[in-house]
Amino acid sequence: MDSPTDQQLANWLDIATEAALAGGAILQRYWGKLDTIAEKGRPGDLVTAADRESETAVLEVLQRHCPDHSILAEESGRHGLATAAYLWAVDPLDGTTNFAHQYPFFSVSIGLVHQGVPILGVVYDPHHRDVFRAAAGRGATCNWQPIRVSTTDSLAQSLLVTGFAYDRRETADNNYNEFCHLTHLTQGVRRGGSASMDLAYVAWGRLDGYWERGLSPWDIAAGIVLVREAGGQVTAYDQQPLDLGSGRLLATNGRLHGALSAALLEVKAGVAAGRQVFGGDRVS
């Protein structure tokens, strides 16, 4: 199928914004007022009434405006034809644990994927009223003002962010070694707790790089577009083209991409050889 026109992208970007604002209004209403918090099967993987109601509001907007598109939503799964050319990847509350604890770092994340490639994204932070928007070839904005990635060009001067998957208690592939290694090599590594916000902050230049494993398409589809359109780079850990379904992502301002990739691969090689690598020091 042909690539979307600029006018289509503009229309869909407005639709995604409408949907994100609708979902965000639900989250604002529930902020600090949750009665029930449940786990979805894995320890720490939470779901609330706010997640579900936000998703309902988002899907109503998308289905009303784009009935021929498919949707992949975190809480309710797949909607529409699997053969549809366009797929909306929806996280109605990215950062549920933060939200449940009233830690103000969460978002509504809505990305549009065409033939496996994210082409449009909106990330809305309803607590701070920040609306991040981007579409292929149209640049990235926060509150309708252009944003760009940082100019930091060394790991030693960088501030990074990462996260830890819900299965971290059950697998040795849990990002702890990478976190320790990069903490030694940089000015700091944060753990935000919302992948879409982490990517938005890389696009905004507030963070210089981000990596994580255990991610789902709805976590990252929108943020990928933000980073790329803000001048950054998004790939697999080894700088190969990103597979949206792989669950692993490396996103930077571009200037740090090679160095951060090399650091991650160094840790992987060290673990495979039965040693730990922290900040350049190899520990048997």
Q: 7-15 contacts: CB < 8 A, separation 24 or more? A: 9/119, 9/120, 9/135, 9/136, 9/137, 9/138, 10/135, 10/138, 12/66, 12/112, 12/120, 12/135, 13/120, 13/122, 13/133, 13/135, 13/138, 15/61, 15/62, 15/65, 15/66
**What is the value of pTM for the model shown?**
0.91
One-letter amino acid at 179 equals F
The residue from 121, 146, 171 where one domain ends is: 146
Cβ contact 121:111 at 8 Å: yes
Residue that terminates a domain, selected from 86, 112, 146: 146
Same domain, 142 and 173: no
Q: Which of 72-81, 89-98, 115-124 has the lowest mean pLDDT?
A: 72-81
Asked if the model's pLDDT at residue 94 lies above 80, the reply is: yes
Pairing verdict, β 130-135 and 140-142? antiparallel
- Across residues 253-266, what is the average pLDDT? 97
Task: Give the confidence band of 81 by pLDDT, cuts at 50, 70, 90.
Answer: confident
Query: SS3 of 172, please?
Result: coil
User: pLDDT at residue 283 above 70?
Assistant: no
Domain membership flag for residue 47: yes
Region 252-270 average pLDDT: 92
The answer to whether the CB of 120 falls within 8 A of the CB of 16 is yes
The angle that helices 217-229 and 195-203 make with each other, rounded to 10 degrees, is 0
In tens, the pLDDT along 15-62 reads 999 999 999 999 999 998 876 665 555 555 556 888 899 999 999 999
Number of independent structural domains in the chain: 2
**Structural domain contains residue 33:** yes
Residues 186 and 131 in one domain: no
Whether residue 200 sits in one domain with residue 141: no
**The domain spanning residue 170 has which CATH number?**
3.40.190.80
180-199 burial code (b ≥16 CB/10 A, e <16): ebbeebbeebeebbbbbbbb
259 and 133 in a common domain: no
101 shares a domain with 50: yes
* pLDDT reading at 132 higher than 50: yes
Domain that holds residue 261: 155-283
Query: Which pLDDT belongs to residue 270?
Result: 60
1 belongs to a structural domain:
no
Contact 197, 128 (CB under 8 A): no
